[in-house]
Structure 1
Amino acid sequence: MLVALIFALTVLSTISPSLARFVLPASLFVNSSNPALSGSGIYGKHSGEGVDYLYLGDKNFNSSQLLMRDGTQLYTNRTGNAKYFNVDDPYAKLTVAGPNSKKIGFVYYDDKHCLTVGGDISGFFACKNTSDPYNYSVHEFELMYYPTGGENDNCIPVNVYKIQ
């Protein structure tokens, strides 16, 4: 995986040196007041055509490797088709549709680089029983985004942070 990333960055720097310096690897994890969830990695699972909803792995789980461009775009290109991190209330997902209009970024908070949407770190939850297409959330926590409330009783507030 690291060799492929180095190769990709080498190719990018050959094509456009200014572009390559803005692409960095990043993995996402959650921080929570619930010790069972805090430190869990986030990974995508196929949930429809061109869409991977995001779920929490256990603490020994390494999250999916993403790439970060310009500090505002998270994406993966592991299947040959780029999938971008996206939040469409209430789903957090990776999608081929491209990044949406909700500006993501990171802010240093509580000793971590926390993910923000529109400048706010709140609104992310780890939820069970979300009515996801394949019912993965019956057994796993799904990462959801409720910026104005409305989460169900099976949701626990989390902050999402990155490690590079």
Structure 2
Amino acid sequence: MKFLTLATLAALASGALAVTKNVTLKVKSDDATIDGMGLSSIHEGAAINYVFLGIGSEDLVYETTNSTIYDPAIIPQFPFYLQIWGNVIAVAVGLTDDVSQFRVDSNSYLTVNGSENVFYAAKNTNDPYNYSSAQYQAVYYADKSDAPEGSIPFTIFVDSSESSTTSVVATTTATSAMPSITSALYVNASITSMNSSATATAPAEFTGAAALNQVSGVLLAGALGLAMLL
């Protein structure tokens, strides 16, 4: 997995004209337990959010020019891109080789390498903060036979019904390097997570991934701010 430095991201983004849509991601499934839920990301490490199913949906931007999806609001000027690490679906700073796998088909469903039937809702995935003990985490498996026992298949509908298509110019000016990264074993796949001293406490009543987005922003802003001073 290759991560670009923020300086490289800035070079790629500076002056680039992109056609974008404001979107949210919605769950479509034959299982009524999860059908109609939204997808949002939760802080699981420095500049790393994992995607979970919940009541709310995260406000994202779909850049049709290069087919990337990101959250521009967690930390302003540091887009958090939707990406896949092994089996983990994450919203994180930095680009990986997997970001450009996403496409939105003619029926507004999200596909990875041409397939929309690669997403599963799973519990007890051993995520860093153990949110999956109570909530469904969104995971990726290209072969359904590899999906965890008891996981629920679903597709992702890209809802842009309340958005308009616009042209924007990226203005990212960051020049600092990314925080250091270390390897970890997760969901039967080797993934990468960033070093962080941040801690999190699960809320007494969790009503959806979107409820923790503001908390994520505060924690991640501190982590990135420290990295920029190094």
Q: Judge same fold: TM > 0.5, yes or no.
A: yes
Determine the structure 2 residue equivalent to 1:107: 105
Paired residue for 2:147, among 140, 148, 151? 151
How many positions carry a matched residue from both structures?
Answer: 142
Divergent runs of 4+, >4 A? none
1:9 aligned partner: none
SS of match in other structure, 1:158: strand
User: RMSD of the alignment, in Å?
Assistant: 1.8
- 2:125 is the alignment partner of 1:130: yes
Corresponding residue for 1:141? 136
Contact 1:129 1:154 in 2 (8 A): no
How far is the alpha carbon of 1:35 from its aligned partner? 1.0
Cα distance in 1, alignment partners of residues 106 and 156 from structure 2: 12
Q: Cα deviation per residue 1:128-155 (whole Å; 9 max; x = unaligned)?
A: 1111000000000000001123221231
Say whether the 8 Å CA contact 1:24–1:68 is kept in structure 2: yes
Q: Is 1:37 aligned to 2:38, yes or no?
A: no
Percent identity for Structure 1 against Structure 2: 25
> What is the one-letter code of the residue matched to 1:70?
T
Q: How far 1:99 moved relative to its partner? A: 4.5
Which structure 2 residues correspond to residues 5-154 of structure 1 after superposition, within 5 A? 19=17, 22-58=19-55, 61=56, 63-70=57-64, 72-78=67-73, 79-80=75-76, 81-101=78-98, 103-109=101-107, 113-148=108-143, 149-154=145-150
CA contact (8 A) 1:65 1:76 kept: yes
Higher alpha-carbon Rg: 2
Gaps of 5+ in 2: 1-13, 161-230
Gaps of 5+ in 1: 1-14
Whole-angstrom distance in 1 between the partners of 2:132 and 2:156: 18
Residue 47 of structure 1: CA displacement?
Answer: 0.7
1:53-99 CA-to-partner distances (Å, cap 9, x unmatched) read 000013xx3x0000011261000121222110001221011011224
Q: TM-score, normalised by structure 2?
A: 0.58
Cα distance in 2 for residues equivalent to 1:100 and 1:53:
18
Structure-1 residue corresponding to 2:157 = 161
Counterpart of 1:147 in 2: which secondary structure?
coil
Shift of residue 122, structure 1, vs aligned partner: 1.4
Any conservation in 2 of the 1:104–1:116 contact (CA below 8 Å)? yes
Q: Is the 1:107–1:116 Cα contact (8 Å) retained in structure 2?
A: yes
Q: Distance in 2 between matches of 1:75 and 1:132?
A: 21
